Structure formats: C-alpha cells, structure tokens
Amino acid sequence: MRATGTFTLRIQRNEDHEPTRVAVTIAGAMQEVDGILVVTPDCMTLDDVESCINKLQDELDLLRVEARRAFDQLAGHA
C-alpha cells in the first residue's frame, strides 16, 4: 500500500494467474457521528475549499502516476 496523505494506493500483484489489481483507498478520513467520512478540514472561505480540493487532486494525480507504473511493470514482464 502506498500512502500519500488522505488517499492510499493498494496494489495487489498478480498471483496464481490473477490479474494485478489497483485500488484507491481513503486513509486520512475522519468519520463523523452520522457515519459520513470527512476528507478535509472545515473550510470557512471559498479559497479554503479550493485549496483543499487542489491538494486532494494533487494526491490523486500522484496515485495515477504510481498506478501507471504498476501496470507498466506488469506489461514489461508479460
């Protein structure tokens, strides 16, 4: 599992003829009393919201690169 912050990338390499699988999971979320998962702090301004969204997008972009590498390695060994 590869952690970047709020999200992690779980990579399961192929075993016994199963395909390699990659999943994005939430690692840094807090669960509210009502069961809702919160992935950002409370934002008081639009700039705060945009900043949090940009940070989450940056993390997801890093995970995309890591997932691409995992699948490229698989193709290289095929």
Residue 12 has pLDDT above 90, yes or no: no
The mean pLDDT of 8-37, rounded to a whole number, is 85
* Cα diameter, the chain: 51
Give every CB contact of residue 9 below 8 A, 6+ residues apart in sequence.
Answer: 1, 2, 22, 23, 24, 25, 63, 66, 67
Residue 20 has pLDDT above 90, yes or no: no
Query: Would you kindly state where each structural domain of the chain is located, as residue ranges?
Result: 2-77
Give the pLDDT confidence score for residue 17 in this predicted structure: 75
Please, what is the Cα angle at 25 between 12 and 30, to 5 degrees?
Answer: 150
Helix (H) or strand (E) holding 62, with range, is: helix 46-77
Residue 11 has pLDDT above 60, yes or no: yes
